[in-house]
Amino acid sequence: MLDDFMFRALLAGIGLALAAGPLGCFVVWRKMAYFGDATAHAAILGVALSLAFSLSTFIGVLLVAALMAFCIARLSGRMYAIDTLLGVAAHLSLALGLVAVSKLSGVRLDLSSYLFGDILAVSRADIVVVWLGAVLTTALLIWRWEPLLTSTLNPDLAAARGYDVEREQLVLMMSLAVLVAVAIKLVGALLITAILIIPAAAARVFSKTPEQMAVVAIVVGVLAVAGGLGMSLFADTPSGPSIVVVAGLLFLIANVIASAKARSSGRSR
């Protein structure tokens, strides 16, 4: 079964959705969408560096994304507003990455596969890496769930409970870096943030607790991956964008159902 490229793609995509669901919820709750973009754009620089030093792309991207996450976490709020800082860092690292790639002699590189990903081309080794990353970030989030949630809600409340708010933030940043490193091959640098945010946003309307939202986000993510791959297969569309399109459709459907529900319960009252 693993010989079938569709099945491999599905397996890798489910792994990605598993990690992206809960992490995407935190991105949404903490209004970190731009941060996700910055980390993802930095990944292109990581691709260039791994080619230059003959590292695995996963390692190169992970290092650069983690460095980016760490710098932003430390620098934010010092002198510039966070969105200014991210705007500088995100686009600078993307541009630097593109310049570096162009200067690498003897390397023929299909950049578009890193910008948009190619989930249909994942190997067995890629699946192992995706699932390792997914299990690692999910385990980390489950372990730090209460402190992370409390410090997201109110940092002072978390401090009074004895949690180290800055350390929890770092845990989140590093999880995000790992996710970016595993996701870049699948959906590409430009669409990683969509995989984080859209399922979480769709899950919001059905949830009464943060945990429900995280679980529903995983389900939405898995549906989007399956639907997107199906669309790609039958309509011959690019796979990464197709997944995001299906996720967007699910978001719309969720909101239509929720507002219909709200209207009918309003009428019955």
Partner 1 sequence: MKNSTSLISTNNVCLHFGNDVVLHDIDFSVEEREIVTLLGPNGSGKSSFLRILIGALQPTGGVVNRRDGLRIGYVPQRLSIDANMPMSVDRFLRLGKSNRGELKSKWVEQVGVADLLSLQVSHLSGGQLQRVMLTHALLADPDILILDEATQGLDQPGEAAFYRLIEQVRKEQGCAVVLVSHDLHVVMSASDRVICLNGHICCEGAPTIVSAAPEYRALFGLGTEGALALYRHDHDHSHDHAPGHAHNHSHDHAHDNTMKHEAKNDAKNDADV
Taking each helix axis as running N to C, give the angle between helix 145-153 and helix 165-187, from 0 to 180 degrees, rounded to the nearest 10: 100
Query: Please, is 160 exposed, middle or buried when counting C-beta atoms within 10 Å of its C-beta (0-12, 13-18, 19+)?
Result: exposed
Site string for partner 1, 101-140 (x = CB under 8 A): ----------------------------------------
Give 229's contacts (C-beta < 8 A, 6+ positions apart).
6, 9, 10, 13, 119, 120, 239, 242, 243
Look up residue 238 and give its amino acid. P
Pick the piece of the chain touching partner 1 (CB under 8 A) from 27-35, 60-68, 127-135, 238-246. 27-35
If you compute the radius of gyration of the chain from its CA atoms, what whole number of angstroms results?
19
Instruction: Kindly list the distances between the CA atom of residue 90 and the CA atoms of 38, 43, 99, 175, 248, in Å, as whole numbers in the listed order.
Output: 4, 10, 14, 18, 24
Give 52's contacts (C-beta < 8 A, 6+ positions apart).
100, 104
Residue from 136, 207, 249, 255 in contact with partner 1 (CB under 8 A): 207
Instruction: Kindly list the distances between the CA atom of residue 45 and the CA atoms of 60, 61, 97, 159, 246, in Å, as whole numbers in the listed order.
Output: 8, 8, 4, 36, 29
| Contact of 151 with 35, CB cutoff 8 Å | no
Pick the piece of the chain touching partner 1 (CB under 8 A) from 28-36, 104-112, 237-245, 250-258. 28-36
C-alpha neighbours within 13 Å on the C-beta side of residue 5: 10
Residue from 112, 135, 156, 263 in contact with partner 1 (CB under 8 A): 156
Pick the piece of the chain touching partner 1 (CB under 8 A) from 51-59, 159-167, 174-182, 232-240. 159-167
Pick the piece of the chain touching partner 1 (CB under 8 A) from 115-123, 153-161, 167-175, 221-229. 153-161
Minimum CB–partner distance for residue 205 and partner 1 (Å): 9
Q: Is the Cβ of residue 157 or residue 256 nearer to partner 1 in the bound state?
A: 157
Residue corresponding to tokens 């297969």: 233
Minimum CB–partner distance for residue 19 and partner 1 (Å): 19
Residue from 208, 234, 266, 269 in contact with partner 1 (CB under 8 A): 208
Site string for partner 1, 161-200 (x = CB under 8 A): xxx-x-----------------------------------
Report how far apart the first and last C-alpha atoms of the chain are (Å, whole number): 53
Pick the piece of the chain touching partner 1 (CB under 8 A) from 39-47, 87-95, 201-209, 257-265. 201-209
Q: Is the Cβ of residue 210 or residue 227 nearer to partner 1 in the bound state?
A: 210
Site string for partner 1, 29-68 (x = CB under 8 A): x-x-------------------------------------
- Binding residues vs partner 1 (CB under 8 A): 28-29, 31, 146-147, 149-150, 152-163, 165, 201, 204, 207-213
